[in-house]
Structure 1
């Protein structure tokens, strides 16, 4: 029991880091909805992420098969996991660039009118697609770290509870500071590139990505503080 505590804490920490991408994506999509529906999308999105992870853990033998080579092209092995990551990365890049385009090329009135016609079901379906990609990556990573199923289940449940608590403050912060929304979208683009690279068996250390984004976030905070108008 005691020997499992350290792997459990390590896995929870890793799952939280991997879950940040999910929270940011859901927060940006939730921002398109009327305020009364934003919490609903966040709770549904994160709740479905937990359900997918638990179901994938229940089908652990099938998940492990996703890591096996399906075919080889130019000495690059492609597995089921790799194909899922490539498709998910392309989808993430597409959504991020599209959101950046709308944010920079359309005025505020366009954004308001677009918000009214956005369908909750359509946004939830986009969340489900990314939930699936991140869930497969998360579970295969977890299997590589620990052997006990109860540790994996506990880590998933604890992580989702933390994500639920953190999702609203993160969403409110992004909504209140539009410049951070662009930064978050660029962050998601980088994650998309990382997923595609991993699908082609070229793994970019996630520590580099998260460190660079944390640095950019700190710089943006400093700039926001220094450009804040002074009271006369």
Structure 2
């Protein structure tokens, strides 16, 4: 408690908190998109509960990881080296790393899982299924509640480790990190249902979100191999794509209004 009181009157601490919250919210978009898409595969009465559990687990996991900062930082220590001399870049630096830490392995595994999951969901989206639901060969829902929670936990772990390592690089004060994590998760909790409902009402947004997950998974894999893609490029591309899709939705709704059709009714039929 004595260490928290001085931070309350420190402008630098407040600036670090605001900066960290903004950064964590941006990084949390990936996690939120995944939870939204996955929960929308469940029966309607289970979706909100799955989102609440997924986001709650993200909070618990991040706070638990913050209590083990020394362990988390140690994850960046190389655990083995392939001993391969890769091709050199323009300035003589290796184009990819041959030393791998636990963080690298977690990012690669998480990226592969995201690529696999997004590809599978894209296949379901383009499959001619009039019900709009993913069904197995017996006609039952292909994704159960327990399976959805397990997949959410797996990705929560990957995104949580990346989030905590980012926080550690921004500030040395654990209370600031914890406050930023709590505020970020609260924002995710508020935005979860509107985002999931919006994605569910607009099939083209579903495909765009799956494309985001494919890109994010590829970036995680590249990051695990030491090829660091600036996050600003990634989020700028996502923002531009979202803006273009918003214009498409706006234009489509305008056409439907001129034809005397309710956009909400049209979206509901196509969802």
Deviation at 1:64, TM superposition (A): 0.9
Deviations 1:3-46 (A, max 9, x none): 20111111111110111011100000111112111110000000
Task: Kindly report the root-mean-square deviation, in angstroms, between the aligned alpha carbons of the 2 structures.
Answer: 1.4
Q: How far is the alpha carbon of 1:106 from its aligned partner?
A: 3.2
Aligned to 1:41: 50
**Partner residue, 1:207:** 232
Q: Secondary structure at the match of 2:41?
A: coil
Question: Which of the residues 59, 63, 68 maps onto 1:59?
Answer: 68
1:96 aligns with 2:118: yes
After superposing on structure 2, the runs of 4+ consecutive aligned residues of structure 1 that deviate more than 3 Å are 112-117
CA distance in 2, matches of 1:218, 1:181: 15
Q: 1:121-132 maps to which residues of 2 (within 5 A)?
A: 121-132=146-157
Structure 1: 5+ residue stretches without partners: none
* 2-structure distance, mates of 1:117, 1:124: 14
If you compute each CA radius of gyration, which structure gives the higher value, 1 or 2? 2
Which of 39, 47, 64 is the aligned partner of 1:30?
A: 39
Question: For residues 175-207 of structure 1, what are the alpha-carbon distances to aligned partners after superposition, in whole Å with 9 as ceiling and x for unaligned?
Answer: 010100000000011000110111011111111
Q: What TM-score does the superposition give when structure 1 sets the normalisation length?
A: 0.96
CA drift at 1:118: 2.7
Q: Which has the higher contact order (CA 8 A, sep 6+)?
A: 1
Cα distance between partner residues in 2 of 1:131 and 1:118: 18
Structure 2 unmatched ranges of 5 or more: 1-6, 86-96, 261-271
CA drift at 1:213 = 1.4
2:20 alignment counterpart:
11
Structure ranking higher in helix proportion: 1
Tell me which moved more, 101-110 or 200-209. 101-110
Aligned length: 232
Deviation of residue 107 (structure 1)?
Answer: 1.4
- Out of 219, 224, 230, the position equivalent to 2:244 is 219
* Equivalent runs, 1:71-220 vs 2, <5 Å: 71-73=80-82, 74=84, 76=97, 77-109=99-131, 111=133, 113=135, 116-220=141-245
Distance 2:206 2:57 in 1: 24
- CA positional deviation for 1:141: 1.0
Residues 147 and 112 of structure 1: CA distance in aligned 2, closer, same or farther (over 3 Å): closer
Question: Residue deviations 1:136-193, cap 9 Å, x none?
Answer: 1111111111000100110111110010001111001000101000000000110001
- The Cα shift of 1:53 comes to 0.4
